[in-house]
């Protein structure tokens, strides 16, 4: 119940503005209205699962019961720096440049 309330942003409809902020999306009022309806629908679809009787069923995180998929600890070369930086909008001294991070 707690979880459900959180998913709804505490309201009946999804808190679209909050979700947009978390996703760093700028929404117009019309966008917000459209998505509020669509996301409420999605939450409604998912809520359908709540009707199932899951008594005694172990929760799983994956569809397949596969465990322990490991890689051995062997280093291997990755990308050379020019390639790695090729898509950087801005770069200097081998670094990706971003607008100054507020500290």
Partner 1 sequence: MTYEARIGLEVHVQLKTRSKMFCACSAEFGDEPNTRVCPVCLGYPGAMPAMNREAVELTALTGLMVGAQVAPLSVFARKSYFYPDMPKNYQISQYDRPLCIGGAVAIEWEGREKLVGLTRIHLEEDVGKSSHFGTSSGVDFNRAGIPLMEIVTEPVLTAPEEADAFLQALRQMVRYAGVSDGNMERGNIRCDANCSVRLRGETALGAKTEIKNLNTFKGVLAALRYEIRRQQDVLAAGGRVAMETRRWDGETGTTASMRSKEEAHDYRYFPEPDLMPVAMAPEQLAALQARIPELPRARRERFCRDYGLPAYDSEVLAADKAVADFFDETARVSDNPKAVSNWMMTEVLAKLAETGRTLAETPVAPRQLAELIALVDRGQINMPTAKSLFATMFDKGGDPVALVEQEGLAQVSSADDIGAWARQAVEENPKSVADYRSGKKAALQFLVGQVMRRSRGRAHPQKAAEALEELLKG
Interacting residues toward partner 1 by CB under 8 A: 18, 21-22, 24, 61-62, 66-76, 78-81, 84-85, 90, 92-103
Q: How far is the CB of 70 from partner 1 (least distance, A)?
A: 4
Residue 78 tokens, joined: 């990755």
Distances from the Cα of 60 to the Cα of 70, 79, 99, angstroms: 19, 36, 41
Return d(Cα 61, Cα 49) in angstroms, integer.
16
Residue 91 DSSP SS3: strand
β-partners of residue 92 are: 95
Comparison of 34 and 84: residue with beta carbon closer to partner 1: 84
| Residue 87 backbone zone (phi > 0: left; psi -120 to 50: alpha; other: beta) | alpha
Q: 48 vs 71, which CB is nearer to partner 1?
A: 71
Q: With respect to partner 1, which residue has the nearer C-beta, 56 or 94?
A: 94
Closest CB 41 distance from partner 1, rounded Å: 20
- Select 30 or 102, whichever has its Cβ closest to partner 1: 102
- Cβ 9 to partner 1 shortest distance, Å: 10
């Amino acid at each position: 119940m707690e979880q459900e309330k959180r998913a709804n942003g505490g309201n009946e409809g999804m808190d679209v503005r909050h979700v947009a902020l978390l996703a760093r999306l700028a929404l117009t009022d019309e966008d917000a209205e459209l998505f509020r309806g669509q996301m409420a629908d999605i939450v409604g679809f998912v809520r359908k699962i709540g009707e199932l009787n899951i008594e005694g069923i172990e929760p799983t995180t994956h569809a397949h019961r596969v465990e322990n998929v490991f890689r051995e600890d062997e280093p291997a070369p990755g990308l050379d720096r020019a390639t790695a930086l090729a898509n950087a909008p801005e770069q200097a001294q081998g670094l990706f440049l971003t607008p100054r991070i507020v500290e």
